[in-house]
Chains A and B, each alone.
Chain A
Amino acid sequence: MIELVQHFPALAIGVPLAFAFLLPLLKKWRNSAVIAALAALAVTEFLALFILQDVLQNGIRIYSMGAVVPGLATPEQMAVPVRILLSIDAFSAFMGAVAATIALLAGIYSIHFIRESHSKYFSLLLLMLAGALGLVFTGDMFNMFVFFEVLSISSIGLIAFWLHRAEPVEAGFKYLAISAVASIFVLFAVGLLYGQHGVLNIAGLSRSTLLYGFAFTDIIALALLVCAFSMKAGAAPMHYWVPDAYGEAPAAVTAMLAVASLASLYALFRIAFTVFGATPLIELVAFAVIIFGVLSLFLGATMSLVQKDLKRLIAYAGISQTGFILVALGVGLAAIHNTPLQPFGAMAMEGGVFHVINHAFYEALLFLCAGAVFLRTGTKDLNELGGLARRMPFTAFFFLIGGIAIAGLPPSSAFASKILIYESVYFFNPLIAVIALVSSVLVVVPMVKAFCAIFLGPEIGKFKKVREVPGAMLFTMLVLSALVIIFGLFPGAIVETIVSPAVNALLSQSAYVGGVL
């Protein structure tokens, strides 16, 4: 068992990848394809949770692809790592666990939600999971680019899954162009960093900036990386693709797309904190990130109010929640060289990282509820819906929990993370805290609107025969609501066990370098 544990990082990426390639062969046998896909998702979830537990106990785990021993980062006579390296610290393992959990739930939900070409759908879903896990587990800039691209391309296949309508195709095209532009600039930045520092390894780059500071090319590379990853994370004012893509993708895919955005955020902060954390350059980046965050908060919350399409409404509300994460981690980034502010920065980051997991859960929950409504009624238009609480009581209840969570009301988990953000950001700059608070209140409004429009009101004739969705779909929503409520009731325990280690992993650049090299 001890030996196998060493291989878990590679297996967590390899298993979904292998099954993604296997599924097209099972096209003829629908049930076996679904079972194989769910088995792969479950195994990956187990691996990701095990890695999280292992990393929390034993510190950074590295895996050198193709080496004689998994832990061999730098071969003999070499000063820098030459192989592709997976390096998993607490923050990576945290993100990996979130991604695997959402993917498993999305997979279970999709059994009934997707009616045709199961093998293609699950193959792409597994590929997406492999991309997300690779993106968060990798310790190599170029490998990060490759997995970023795998994630994007498989997402496009899923966004444009329903080809018989024009809108998903348009959304897919937009998402494809956006992610291609982002990845081209990422690759440019990777080239610049390689030319400047001579290594592609994140820990190697980090050591190089610790020793020699930054150069002119680093400024360009950092600006390119920050902009590209912010755009893929859906930060305003580069958020316009988000409602388009989220609105048109199948519901379970949208939950995974939210995870993909969070993985982009991971990449952004991994680079900002771990590679350039020691340079004075980082404070300027922090201000840029905070500005992106404040804009996202405000634009997302206000634009969410006027949406007529249910999924676009949730997508806009989600943008404002991404703003919370950006603001919190941006404040942490700004406080990194400012000794009196450091405790507040660390606390803001705790709130931000806690909000990452909460955001993934309630955003997924809301999108899954929206998908349930869409499955039974065939429409996402809020003006046409109404009175569904009589027919779909469970979905209504879960939607209510999701709405409470996204609005940041107690007892949901988002309340705990948001209060951490408010009170620490208040010490950094009261105005930002006020904007965050106001936009959080504003998000209540679209949720009330959506809930009333879909579930309350008189019964509508054409929805008289609507039934509750199948048990498997309800089960996934139940799990997510339970997680949201449990995390809200025991926030202290969650923050202590998984969030604080992740924050410490982000903050201590030298520990990362020491752990990997």
Chain B
Amino acid sequence: MIAVLSQNLPFVVSALLLLIGMYALLFKSNLIKMAIGLSVMGSAVNLFLIALGYRQDSIAPIFTNAPLVGAVNAAEMAMPVPQALTLTSIVISLAVTALMLSLAVLTFRHTGTLDAEKAGRLKG
């Protein structure tokens, strides 16, 4: 059990981060805290993707570092695709966070509170 956990530590950590983010979204009614929760969840996914692309003893996936075709014992490269996914996901989570914070600011200006329970008007 311990061995499995320690070998898969990044994945365990990313699952934990996901749960922390979900906790904030499920139990916190402050809009800023919800935005923080979403950011944490985004980081969990980023960590998951980066861990997915990692190979032990691998080199950075740069074109000019690539071993020649047919080289013996050529060091393997880390997978570049998950890193590209992570970059895009970071960009998107930046946009989401910015929008979320500006909407929170607007909510505060309209209702004078950041508490979703007090600010909420749509129901039923």
Contact = CB atoms under 8 A, between A and B. Distances in A.
State if A and B touch, Cβ cutoff 8 Å. Answer: yes
Interface of A: 142, 146, 149, 153, 156-157, 160, 163, 165-167, 169-174, 176-177, 180-181, 183-184, 187-188, 190-191, 194-195, 200, 243-244, 247-248, 306-307
Contacts of B18: 188
Interface in B86-117: 88-89, 92-93, 95-96, 99-100, 103-104, 106-107, 110-111
A191 B100 contact: no
A200 B89 contact: no
Interface in B46-73: 48-49, 52
Given A190-B85, A194-B81, A200-B81, A173 B31 contact: yes
A180 B103 contact: no
B119 interface: yes
B82 interface: yes
B25 interface: yes
Contacts of A180: 38, 41-42, 93, 96, 100
A166 B121 contact: yes
Contacts of A170: 107, 119-122
B41 A153 contact: no
B34 interface: yes
Give the interface size bracket for B toward A: 20 to 34
Given A166-B107, A181-B25, A188-B48, A173 B100 contact: yes
Contacts of B45: 184, 187-188, 191
B29 to A, nearest CB: 12
A190 B84 CA distance: 13
Contacts of A184: 38, 41-42, 44-45
Interface in B1-56: 18, 25, 31, 34, 38, 41-42, 44-45, 48-49, 52
Contacts of A166: 107, 110-111, 119, 121
A171 B122 contact: yes
26 contacts: A142-B88, A149-B92, A149-B96, A153-B92, A153-B99, A156-B99, A166-B107, A166-B121, A170-B107, A170-B121, A173-B31, A173-B107, A176-B99, A177-B34, A180-B93, A180-B96, A181-B25, A181-B38, A183-B92, A184-B44, A187-B85, A187-B89, A191-B85, A200-B81, A248-B122, A306-B124
A153 B93 CA distance: 11
